[in-house]
Amino acid sequence: MSEDKILHLNDDNFEAEALQGNLPCLVDFWAPWCGPCKAIGPVIAELATQFDGKVKIAKVNVDESPATPGKYGIRAIPTLILFKDGKVLDQVTGAVGKAQLVAMIEKAG
Amino acid sequence: MADNHIHQLVIVGGGPGGLAAGIYAARARIDAVLLEKGATGGQILNTDWIDNYPGFPEGVSGFELAERMGAQAQRFGLKVAMKSAVSMDLVAAVKTIHCDDGTTIQAHAVILATGARPNHLNVPGETELTGKGVSYCATCDGPFYRNLDIAVVGGGDTALQEAVYLTKFAKTVTVVHRRQEFRAAPIIQEAALAHERIRFLYDAQVSAILGSKEVEALRIRYRDGREEERPFQGVFMLIGITPNTGSLPLDQLHNEQGFVVTDGRMRTNLPGVMAVGDLRHDSIRQVVSAAGEGAVAAKEVEHYLECISHGKGA
């Protein structure tokens, strides 16, 4: 349903999609073998619907795209990073609840 | 979403205990809703391999078992709401649960199945370096440590089982244990002690985690007072669990150090309120026991609902 609203990014298009442009972008760094990543999957899908057109909601599979998580020093997943104007605005690790992510996004304005 | 409907049952938490309760409740045609902040499964989602759940002679991944339990609950039509409880009033006949999205849910009975989360060591550097070399989930983060030297803190089942798992990726795994003897089951100890790339530091505690941007070393303090710094690129904290009681009214619920006290039928001191799984004071922290307790609690709820509908109390 809302899965199609999620941007699936990789090492090649990460910069263009997440760091450039006017919208903030929340990136979920995940992998298929990670349980907590699966746990927040439905939350990410809901956020994509809720913030459609206001905030980009994206996922990066760290297995397929190791360079991007390496650049941000990611050693644990799921890690969620909120980017605005190409900079890291906020960051959280672990399967946090939807309310916390909504608060993080809304704080960013 | 204003929900004025009073449910028969709210199950708080979607791990094995909550899901088993949900399966039994749904089959009993109890009007139940299960609250879970993300996908169902609970802590088994973080577990690489479960070797002792009956019916899986070769073992099963935590992931798969979680998925199967969720699918089974879904087949019986269990309602799952993606939200978590922030506070509850459980004393009145109608129980009220306040959720993190600002909504409230009411029910005649509640099964508490909020589970537990990994303990923190509470040493300098831990918070700052979480996600940057400090991890609480070997299954999640092991693959980031290929060919690196890492440490595992703990001496129980989880610590030694995950130490063996982490050898799939790491060059060496050093188990830091504050005692001489392990609490882990003998079969797990044997595998860990026999592994050529697992090392052991006994009578040893991590007193600080060192590193500016990521973990570089651990300061280890030994029982005899010696202290040293050892280089590691990662450290996994596998030192037991703390019950998730942030949303529970502990002033109303009998508990021992935050673990909710129940009788053998999973009843707490409050009528209509049951508790199951890792949250319970004498839980053995196993998937199979959590699931069994979920079934007992659902049966107890059935009985309780019958009693209140006949005006007899429970």
User: Where are the alpha helices (H) located in B76-152, listed in sequence order?
Assistant: 138-141
Does the annotation count B307 as an active-site position?
Answer: no
- Does the distance separating the beta carbons of A75 and B144 come in below 8 Å? yes
Does the annotation count B141 as an active-site position?
Answer: yes
- Identify the CATH homologous superfamily for domain B6-118+241-309: FAD/NAD(P)-binding domain (3.50.50.60)
**CB proximity A67 to B under 8 Å:** no
- A99 vs B100, B137, B139: nearest CB: B100
ipTM over 0.90: no
Closest of B210, B12, B209, B163 to residue B96, by C-alpha: B12
Residue B181 gets the label, from left (phi > 0), alpha (psi -120 to 50) or beta, of beta
Mean pLDDT of chain B: 94
CATH architecture of B134-237: 3-Layer(bba) Sandwich (3.50)
- Does the distance separating the beta carbons of A43 and B130 come in below 8 Å? no
Alpha carbon distance, N-terminus to C-terminus of chain B: 32
In this prediction, residues B127-141 reach a mean pLDDT of 90
Interface of B with A (CB under 8 A): 37-39, 41, 44-47, 62-63, 66, 82-84, 100-101, 130-133, 135, 137, 139-141, 143-145, 213-214, 234
Both tokens assigned to B311 = 């005006």
| Angle (nearest 5°) at CA A97 between A61 and B39 | 65
pLDDT at A3: 58
Alpha-carbon torsion (A92, A94, A96, A101), positive or negative: positive
Selected catalytic residue, list B140, B203, B263, B282 = B140
In this prediction, residues B274-297 reach a mean pLDDT of 96
Report the DSSP beta bridge partners of residue B172.
Answer: B149
- Does the distance separating the beta carbons of A46 and B45 come in below 8 Å? no
Contact B50/B62 with Cβ under 8 angstroms? Answer: yes
In this prediction, residues B87-102 reach a mean pLDDT of 95
- Does the distance separating the beta carbons of A73 and B144 come in below 8 Å? no
pLDDT at B313: 53
Nearest-Cα residue of chain B relative to residue A97: B37
pLDDT at B269: 98
Q: How far away is chain B from the Cα of A66, in angstroms, using its nearest Cα?
A: 10
What does B62-96 look like in DSSP terms, one character per residue?
HHHHHHHHHHHHHHTT-EEE---EEEEE-SSSSEE
Contact A103/B86 with Cβ under 8 angstroms? Answer: no
pLDDT at A2 over 60: no
Q: How far away is chain A from the Cα of B134, in angstroms, using its nearest Cα?
A: 8
* Domains along chain A with CATH numbers: 2-107 (3.40.30.10)
10 Å Cβ neighbour count for B180? 10
Contacts of B37 in chain A (CB under 8 A): 43, 95, 97-98
Tell me, what amino acid is at A104? M
- Does the distance separating the beta carbons of A98 and B82 come in below 8 Å? yes
pLDDT at B260: 97
Active site residues of A: 34, 37
- Does the distance separating the beta carbons of A79 and B143 come in below 8 Å? no
Q: Could you tell me the residue ranges of all domains in chain B? A: 6-118+241-309, 134-237
Give me the percent of chain B exceeding a pLDDT of 70. Answer: 98
Alpha-carbon torsion (B263, B265, B266, B270), positive or negative: negative
Closest of B173, B234, B238 to residue B209, by C-alpha: B234
Q: Cα-flanking dihedrals φ and ψ of residue A9, to 5°?
A: -105, 160
| Per-residue pLDDT band at B2 (split at 50, 70, 90) | very low
pLDDT at B1: 42
| Per-residue pLDDT band at B3 (split at 50, 70, 90) | low
10 Å Cβ neighbour count for B258? 16
Give me the percent of chain B exceeding a pLDDT of 90. Answer: 85
